[in-house]
Structure 1
Amino acid sequence: MKLLSSLRHALPLASLALLPTPALAHLGYPDTTSVTVRRGHPEDMFVGATFGAVISRDSGKTWSWICPEAMSYGGWRPETFLWQPDGTLLAATGAALIRSHDSGCTWTVHDYFKSQGLWPMGLASPSSNPSRLWVTTGRSASPNGVFRSDDGGETFTPSLRSDTAVFTAVKVAPSDPRRLYVSGGTATGQRIYRSDDEGEHWEEIPHPFPEYSEGSRPYDLFVLRVADTDPDRLWARVSWQGWTYILESTDGGRTFRSVLHPEGQDRDAIDEYLMGMEVSPDGNTLWAATPTRLFRVRAGESRATLLPLPDGNACAQREGDVLYVCGASRVHDWALATTADEGQTYTPILNLPDTRPPVCPAGTPTHDVCRPRWPQFAPTIEADPTLPDETGDGGTVDGGTDAGTSDGGPTQPEPPAPPKKGCSSAGGLLPAAAFLLLSTLRRSRRRNPPEN
């Protein structure tokens, strides 16, 4: 039985190896990586994945595929997306700002950043003012900045500039949209940049992290969340000596303390890179995801709790009072679920084998590029490879008036080549890959101890 199970999980990977060359950047298990709910339209959900994305316009009853080749991001996979009330989808990939005005059928690269050789890494927009966008750039050995848009991303102006800093992420305080936090680093150490007036003025707060600095410097500081009701409370992650630490500040980013760390009794459990986190509405429960598992920490607890599921893939994202969690269909028959009891039980809403072919209109990249790939891709997620016959308008998006329009046609600009060296290059993408390798080796050593 174990052999049959192993073969069942290996066959999709073998099929994946037969895909055209561009898809080879997505080797590994097909998994979900993020979930985004359209603001004001909870029935619309967009799930990022290692194989592009899947989208639902009916509260998760049906899901259709969007292939990465149609999304204009090349080898850079967005960590998160932003879906605005007007239907615009955006993502900062680390190499470009990509956007779609037609529910993912047509994607374009924003020319403002491309034309200046800027690499967008962070993206934020206050829910109280969706037309306001903030974008950070993080190209090493290059000028970078924090950029503001007041027209939904059509035009941008610089709010903060630096010839020496890499700006990794930006967050807006939900309870006070004037309060902004930007994380980053320079050659001399990590920084938090704070504004109390919507970017008119910035305060630079150095963070030496002396408790982690013996023999090497911490790097890749990312601000992750700001509390719903307290603009002075925020969370970040930092990397040091092959480990990641989740930090909390209660004084507006001036000081941080570690709240989730692979030390002491937690080291045996947290042996993988901590990729992302989420917090409860009151800020007193925290979930942190590794590439395969999800941990929970409640206020006052001395250690993290490893949740029984998910196993094999993990992410956590809260939308209002609903906590969405990524999982692995190959292990427990769901790739996305919700939980109402902090991760003890789950209600599945996406199982990858139920995914359908793209449903965009003919003439859009998602239709013309992705549909021919479906028969070859579908077996990798154990979905039906049959392409349904197109009738009438050739397939339409099930959505609202925002579906089916184009923001620039099917041309797919190439993003800039990834940086080749430097710890802060690509905003932690290279360190993340190294962490994944280290995590794999650690797990292998623990599960297969050397013989005496």
Structure 2
Amino acid sequence: MTRPSVNRSRIFPAITIGSAAACICLAASTPASANGRYPSAGQILVDPADPDHLWIRATYGVLTTSDGGERWSWICEPAIGYIGIEDPMMVLTGDGSILVGLFGGLSATHDRGCQWELGAGGVADRNIVDLSIDRAEPGSVILLGSSVLGSDEILTQVWESKDDGRTWAQAGVDLPSTFLGVTLDSAPSDPRRLYVSGRWNGPSFQGILKRSMDRGRTWEDFDVPGSDERNLPYIGAVDPVDPDVVYVRRDGDEADTLLVTRDGGATWEEVFQAASLVGLALSPDGSKIAVGSDYGGLWTAPTATLTFTPVRNLGVRCLTWTPRGLFACADEFVDGFTAGISTDEGQTFSPLMTLDRLCGPPPACGSDSETGEACPALWPATASFLGAAGSCDAGAGASGTATAGGGGAGESGTGAGAGGSGTGAAAGGGCACEASGKGRHGGLLGCMIVAAGVLCGARRRARKASSGRMALGVRAGPS
């Protein structure tokens, strides 16, 4: 599972003053223009009951397919209930429902994306920071809400649903008002075991892993070493067999660090570092782990040793591992696909989602639904902005897909479709965008960076990139 933190898109190398100046008018484009953000994906969900039913969270909305990726439908952010720069956590429940945690509450669809409804009762109007499925019972969901109150106190609670997100009840007690929660998960082998990560709200802002053995009635606290107000701990995964084994990603100014505890949080070991560690997934049996960096590529290791090996030079944005294979989000303009699947543990990927397969809002959604009402008018500008198919009625979509590049971790592996050689394209909102160096999308990114302020946080990313694609520190062998 990939946990959201900050948006860390790689800086595209071909941005010129000319292409940027030609596209400043993009700042006045409509909200449909992907919010001016670099087009990328940050989460992949696979329906365990229907492997052809997949969902992707992207920077320009949510994408879904019911035919294994031949054609993708686009659902705009306003239909779901958010507008602006927000990367909400999503879960896919046992009956195919999608739940989305927003700054202002919980949004859910139970009909594959047409009707969206906001959660009521205790989860209404809360900042939903994380969601997790109980793997032993797919219809059971837990969520973490953590909101700052007017008195500077924090209300952090765990809620659970047994009916695919339709009704909710609080799980256990409120967490301390001085604790800010950021992620949660349950142990697949022991659903009563819950973990929540976060930090104290002063004075040291120490990062904490909270552990409950009784579904939230009581909690124990364990310090996560090296974490503080700036370097928060995020739960990456809980081992499917051993409830005491937890993987946590800790933010860092120069590099992110992967830590593991094998005793439920009492002791910790640092096992991996990357300039920007945004992907982590365990194999279904828990015997292997994959980690990914949008700077440093894809690495894997046996969980018994946690000795990592570079597998592929891929700009990883997210990872998901199911019995079907290892799914990855990547940079389509560099790697040849937005989402792909590997059946050989990351050595090669087959494109699963490319922009020429994106066909617009779901045709099944009528105008009386949230998606049918909000999205069709926004789609033309979005399609133009992305260079997407626009419509698949005329045969666009399944044909002409990008080919994933080959090569191991030391090769470029960019593949066909990563950049191209075109000379220009129209950007969203009617602004002509002059491409430079990298074809249509090189100029597109120049527009977005200048017009929408994507340089927020660039100093940190540039500092990381200057030390190479990977700042690596891996363990030599088992302890």
Same-fold call, TM cutoff 0.5: yes
Counterparts of 1:146 and 1:283, CA distance in 2: 26
Segment of structure 1 superposing worse, 362-371 or 77-86 = 77-86
Please list, as runs of the form range in 1=range in 2, the aligned pairs for 1:30-429 lying within 5 A after superposition.
30-75=39-84, 77-113=86-122, 115=124, 117-140=125-148, 141=152, 142-153=154-165, 154-161=167-174, 162-186=176-200, 187=202, 188=204, 189-207=206-224, 209=225, 212=226, 219-261=231-273, 270-271=274-275, 273-299=276-302, 300=305, 305=310, 307-308=312-313, 310-311=314-315, 314-359=317-362, 360-385=365-390
Q: What amino acid does structure 1 have at the position aligned with 2:461?
A: S
What one-letter code is carried by the residue in structure 2 that aligns with 1:144? T
Aligned partners of 1:287 and 1:294 also within 8 Å: no
Q: Residue deviations 1:183-219, cap 9 Å, x none?
A: 1211241221112233333222233x1xx47xx7763
Separation of aligned partners in 1, 2:123 and 2:89: 20
Cα distance, 1:134 vs. partner?
1.4
Give 3-state SS (helix, strand or coil) of 1:97's partner. Answer: strand
CA distance in 2, matches of 1:254, 1:16: 54
Q: What are the Cα deviations for residues 309-351 of structure 1, in whole angstroms up to 9, with x where unaligned?
A: x23x521111235210112222233111111222111111111
Gapped runs of 5+ residues in structure 2?
1-13, 395-453, 470-479
**What is the Cα deviation at residue 442 of structure 1?**
3.6
Contact map agreement 2:34 2:385 (CA 8 A) in 1: no
Deviates more, 1:194-203 or 1:340-349: 194-203
Q: Could you tell me how far apart the structure 1 residues matched to 2:247 and 2:295 are?
A: 21
CA drift of 1:129 comes to 2.0
Q: Is the 8 A contact 1:217 1:240 kept in 2?
A: no
Q: Structure 1 CA distance, aligned partners of 2:339 and 2:133?
A: 24
Q: Deviations over 1:8-33 (max 9, x none)?
A: xx79x959937755357732321121
Tell me the CA shift for residue 151 of structure 1: 3.5
Write the distance in 1 (CA, Å) between the matches of 2:354 and 2:464: 30
Q: Is the 8 A contact 2:122 2:168 kept in 1?
A: no
- Structure 2 vs 1, CA of residues 58 and 227 (structure 1 numbering), >3 Å: closer, same or farther? same
Aligned residue number for residue 441 of structure 2: none
RMSD: 3.1
| Runs of 5+ consecutive residues of structure 1 not aligned to the other structure | 262-269, 390-431, 448-452
Identity of aligned residues (%): 25
**SS of corresponding position for 1:146:** strand
Write the letter of the residue equivalent to 2:212.
Answer: S
Given that 1:221 and 1:239 are in contact with CA atoms closer than 8 Å, whether structure 2 keeps it comes out as: yes
- Letter of the 1:135 partner, please give it: L
8 Å contact 1:34–1:79 — kept in the other structure?
no
Structure 2 length normalisation: TM-score?
A: 0.71
Equivalenced residue count is 381
> Which of 1 and 2 has higher RCO (CA within 8 Å, sep 6+)?
2
Deviation digits for residues 147-195 of structure 1 (CA, Å, limit 9, x no counterpart): 2333433122242312111111111111222221111211241221112
Question: Is contact 1:46–1:53 with CA below 8 Å preserved after alignment?
Answer: yes
CA change 1:177–1:442 in 2 (3 A) is closer
* Deviation of 1:277 (Å): 1.1
**TM-score, with length taken from structure 1:** 0.75
Rate the CA distance shift 1:57–1:202 in 2: closer, same or farther, 3 A.
same
Gap change, CA 1:19 and 1:54, over 3 Å in 2? farther
